């Protein structure tokens, strides 16, 4: 699980400031006090992973999800990004320090989490910059759009390879129940200048092709202007990325960054297994994450596109824009 370092530094500093003796392992002549308490805060409005693994390496070893506003006992803070905690029912494990808060008002934390969830309209949640439950960030040089609703976070990035459109898709399930991820019903539609569906390409065909363009990146898709309505026309991307109202971790498939390249490369890496990084049909248990890549037909004239990812009872709708090709 990747987390933006600036949020780790900030959250760690706040927590360490509140709990100096525990963090530094200091002792004194004063009788030891009870272990400090903390409250679980949930960026994006979803429960957060509680693991038996201090490193929280993928795949996560989930003990169970921690609810927004839940009180926990902090047992130790490591030099990494996790803290050892004990829950009210006595379970001991690890949680990312960015999810711990020394706020006194549990009600305020819960309200903030609820406000950070996207509101469905007619069975769909649509990405809009600055809207509740919506986030954007840069992952390995690619612009990512993220939506959180009903305890589920879906993240996508979209690139033009010059041959196919490539979508990196991740689903983090922090809802109480397992959810189905079905690549066969994920759609990419061209909205302008033409209105049409762009068909997904079976990974089996890509695995046997000799072209190296399956991993090229000619252009990274950015949010369409229609999805930036919540910001003034003068807000730059840098401003938006520096002021994320609902920040969430990066759940995208990290393997893609190791194989994807720009078109200056002329040979495809033979060791790349297309099937290994492709998004697969799966049932994602509570507290788990799945991520993978899909490829779609390309239109060199496409400008506005909509990527729709159905998960659970909702359709997560992402709006992208590409420069018009001449």
The dihedrals phi and psi of 78, each to the nearest 5 degrees, come to: -90, 175
Residue ranges of the domains in the chain?
A: 5-115, 124-321
Query: If 0-12 CB within 10 Å is exposed, 13-18 middle and 19+ buried, where does residue 245 land?
Result: middle
User: Does residue 276 have a pLDDT over 70?
Assistant: yes
pLDDT tens column, 153-208: 999 999 998 889 999 999 999 888 999 999 999 999 999 999 999 999 998 888 77
Decide yes or no: CATH 2.30.30.40 for domain 5-115.
yes
pLDDT tens column, 212-258: 677 888 899 999 988 887 766 667 888 888 888 878 888 887 766 65
| Nearest by Cα to 148 from 42, 257, 295 | 42
The pLDDT value given to residue 144: 95
* Alpha-carbon span 151 to 294, nearest angstrom: 24
Helix (H, G, I), strand (E, B) or coil at 118: coil
The answer to whether 99 and 91 have CB atoms below 8 angstroms apart is no
267 against 74, higher pLDDT: 74
The pLDDT value given to residue 58: 74
């Amino acid at each position: 699980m990747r987390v933006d370092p600036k949020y780790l530094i900030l959250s760690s500093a706040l927590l360490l400031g509140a709990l100096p003796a525990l963090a530094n392992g200091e002792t004194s002549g004063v009788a030891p006090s009870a272990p400090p308490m903390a409250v679980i805060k949930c960026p994006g409005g979803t429960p957060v992973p509680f693991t038996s693994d201090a490193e929280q390496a993928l795949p996560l070893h989930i003990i169970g999800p921690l609810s927004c506003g839940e009180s926990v006992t902090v047992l130790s803070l490591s030099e990494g990004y996790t803290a050892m905690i004990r829950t009210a029912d006595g379970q001991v494990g690890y949680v990312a320090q960015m999810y711990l808060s020394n706020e006194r008002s549990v009600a305020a934390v819960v309200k903030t989490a609820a406000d950070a969830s996207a509101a469905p309209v007619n069975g769909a949640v649509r990405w809009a910059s600055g809207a509740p439950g919506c986030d954007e960030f840069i992952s390995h040089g690619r612009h990512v759009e993220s939506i959180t609703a009903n305890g589920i976070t879906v993240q996508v990035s979209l690139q033009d390879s010059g041959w196919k459109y490539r979508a990196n898709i991740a689903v983090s399930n922090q809802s109480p129940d397992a959810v189905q991820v079905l690549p066969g019903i994920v759609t990419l539609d061209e909205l302008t200048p033409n209105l049409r569906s762009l068909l997904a390409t079976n990974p089996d065909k890509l695995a046997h092709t000799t072209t190296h363009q399956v991993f090229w990146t000619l252009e990274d898709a950015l949010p369409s202007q229609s999805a930036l309505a919540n910001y003034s026309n003068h807000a730059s991307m840098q401003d938006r990325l520096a002021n994320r109202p609902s920040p969430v971790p990066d759940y995208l498939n990290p393997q893609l960054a190791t194989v994807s390249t720009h078109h200056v490369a002329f040979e495809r890496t033979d060791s790349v297994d297309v099937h290994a990084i492709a998004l697969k049909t799966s049932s994602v248990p509570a507290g788990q994450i799945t991520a993978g890549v899909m490829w779609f037909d390309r239109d060199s004239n496409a400008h506005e596109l909509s990527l729709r990812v159905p998960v659970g009872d909702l359709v997560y709708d992402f709006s992208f824009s590409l420069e018009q090709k001449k």
